Amino acid sequence: MVKDDALKKRWATVVEKISAQFSDGEHLDLDGIIYLIGVQELGQLHRSFKKDEKINLMHIAICRLLMPYGYYALDFIDEDGWPHYTAKTELPNLKAGEQALLMKQAIVNYFLEQDFID
């Protein structure tokens, strides 16, 4: 229970801080935060992305977020600066709520590593 409360508080902090920086007063949802992590990981912050690139950015973020859990490993970075990951182990079959919880935990851990929250 304590871990759940800590996660909820840290998640709320992430949403507040990210939303304050990147949205017009509206709270970003999980997908929006994942997208921004993808942009951060790509390192090409000041450009526009096409629809297929946005999907790839979300994939980059998910791979990066799940890397500490052993699901993915960075394989290489291509000539355009895009990271490519290799699946190391199969993701577990999770219900939608469990998937969201895993991603929230991974995002909180990511931002703890980045010293964006504490």
Mean pLDDT calculated for residue range 103-117: 96
Mean pLDDT calculated for residue range 66-92: 96
Q: Does some domain include residue 118? A: no
Total domain count, the chain: 1
Over 90: is that where the pLDDT of 25 sits? no
Q: What's the pLDDT score for residue 46?
A: 85
Q: What's the pLDDT score for residue 1?
A: 46
Q: Does some domain include residue 35? A: yes
Please report which confidence band the pLDDT of residue 102 belongs to, taking 50, 70 and 90 as the band edges: very high
Q: Does some domain include residue 60? A: yes
Mean pLDDT calculated for residue range 1-25: 87
Residues forming a β-bridge with 73: 86
Query: In the chain, what percentage of residues exceed pLDDT 90?
Result: 83
Over 50: is that where the pLDDT of 5 sits? yes
Q: Which residues contact 73 (CB under 8 A, 6 or more apart)?
A: 67, 85, 86, 88
Q: Does some domain include residue 6? A: yes
For residue 87, what are the domain limits?
A: 2-113
Q: Does some domain include residue 70? A: yes
pLDDT digits (tens, 9 = 90+) for 31-51: 999 999 999 999 998 889 999
For the entire predicted model, the pTM comes to 0.92
Q: Judge whether 33 and 15 are in contact, CB under 8 Å.
A: yes
Q: What's the pLDDT score for residue 24?
A: 80
Cα separation, 101 vs 112, whole angstroms: 16
How buried is residue 114: exposed, middle or buried, by Cβ count under 10 Å (0-12/13-18/19+)? exposed
Q: Does some domain include residue 74? A: yes
